[in-house]
Amino acid sequence: MTISLIKGQKADLTKANPLLSTLIVGMGWQNNHAAVEVDFSVFLLTAEQKVTRDEDLIFYGNPSGPNGSISVMDNASDTFAGASDLTRLSVVLNSIPPQYERAAFALTIYEGERRRQNFSLLENVYIRIIDSATGSELIRYPINQDFSVETAIVAGELYKYKGEWKFSAIGSGYAGGLAALCASYGIEVQNNEGSSPPATPSPEPRQETSTPPQPNSIPFDFSKIVLKKRGDAINLQKGTGPMGEILVNLNWNQRKSSGWFGSKGVDLDLGCLFELKNGMKGAIQALGESFGSLNRSPFISLDGDDRTGAVSTGENLRINGHYLHEIERIVIFAFIYEGITNWSEADGIVSIKQQGGPEIEVRLDEHNNSKGMCAIAMIRNVNDQTFSVERLVEYFAGHRELDQRYHWNLKWEAGSK
């Protein structure tokens, strides 16, 4: 049976149900305004009500927290207890590191201040707790529509008390959006879309969420996300309309080496393998002059071949997000067409840019100078709603070896440009 809460109420989770181990936290709302974009976030907090590192903020750009304890679920449209949600997170209680005592679940309106939007434009906002093992709804908190200027809401908190997990219905609103909310939890936002004031709570503030940021706050740059380790992955930001164009840029530092026949540098090329939903597979690269197409299959194009590394814009692959539903997966790669195989001196950087979302950066900072091809990132379709980007940075002797590693099964022959 579902427990329905009102603002300020608390409910036990594990004391009466000691076998409860994995929860699903679902959130939803009714949006009758197409221009309003709502994002979610989760803050893992210590006893001091602060994060300890930027990984403690779970959102679309960091979809999994420490130990995988809290992670974004891609199947929010699936039905649990007769209802679907607009966003869902999986919470494995025993995997939450012991230094964290609570997890705060928040909703924010993207660029709410700049667009003059707030939560009064949304209806039927709620948060609910589901038992992952049974699919039954344990707790539901309908959040009253009493927000007039707020662009961020702390919907509820999971918290530990005397070794047991409980849920608290919070429903506190803040002006200043995600940046201001981050400040209250000790995250210093850098280079965001505009300066935000310190968090301004609604008329019924809570002490733990309205504490001013401490001097040792953790810097977090929402304009750029760096995938640092192999396997790191994030989802591109989902908006209310079509995804638009995704730009994949390769840049590197060109260092010429002198020899008997003059100076010659490395010719580093950008390309990709693609697979469409209809089974079509292929490669896009300057080698063989296979430049693709943006507005017809495969909806990916290469717009340049920088043979010197001196072109300031580098080389670019463009992915047409309007055709997201047509694309299954893409492997972004770079290879050294000419020159000495020396990745360590090339200092290659691939950036993936999306309008309205942060830049995603993959640095080629792991090197294998005995192999001339590098698989940089895997881009996958996520339920026809967005793309995920996963860091690879794995080196191969050539196209055929890379193909075999990622199971494309194409036929390869020597080519030139």
pLDDT at 205 over 80: no
pLDDT tens readout for residues 365-401: 888 888 989 999 999 998 888 898 999 999 999 999 9
Contacts of 19 (CB under 8 A, 6+ apart): 133
Whether the domain at 3-222 and the domain at 233-406 fall into the same CATH topology: yes
The predicted structure's pLDDT at residue 289: 84
For residues 300 and 318, is the Cβ–Cβ distance under 8 A?
A: yes
Between 381 and 345, where is the model more confident?
381
Instruction: Indicate the SS3 state at residue 416.
Output: coil
The predicted structure's pLDDT at residue 174: 84
The predicted structure's pLDDT at residue 211: 37
For residues 335 and 373, is the Cβ–Cβ distance under 8 A?
A: yes
Tokens of 264: 């010659």
The predicted structure's pLDDT at residue 176: 81
User: What is the Cα–Cα distance from 351 to 366, expressed in whole angstroms?
Assistant: 16
Domain ranges of the chain: 3-222, 233-406
- Topology annotation, domain 233-406: Lipoxygenase-1 (2.60.60)
The predicted structure's pLDDT at residue 268: 79
The predicted structure's pLDDT at residue 394: 95
| β strands within 211-348, DSSP E | 218-221, 224-226, 233-235, 245-251, 257-259, 262-264, 267-276, 281-284, 292-293, 300-302, 315-320, 327-338
82-91, 115-124, 202-211: segment of lowest average pLDDT: 202-211
Between 356 and 303, where is the model more confident?
303
Between 338 and 194, where is the model more confident?
338
- Mean pLDDT (whole number) for 307-326: 77
- Domain 3-222, architecture per CATH: Sandwich (2.60)
b/e per residue 212-234 (b: at least 16 CB within 10 A): ebeeebbebebeebebeeeebbb
pLDDT tens readout for residues 2-34: 999 999 999 999 998 999 999 999 999 999 888
Between 259 and 107, where is the model more confident?
107
pLDDT at 214 over 70: no
Q: Select the highest-mean-pLDDT range: 79-88, 159-168, 341-350.
A: 159-168
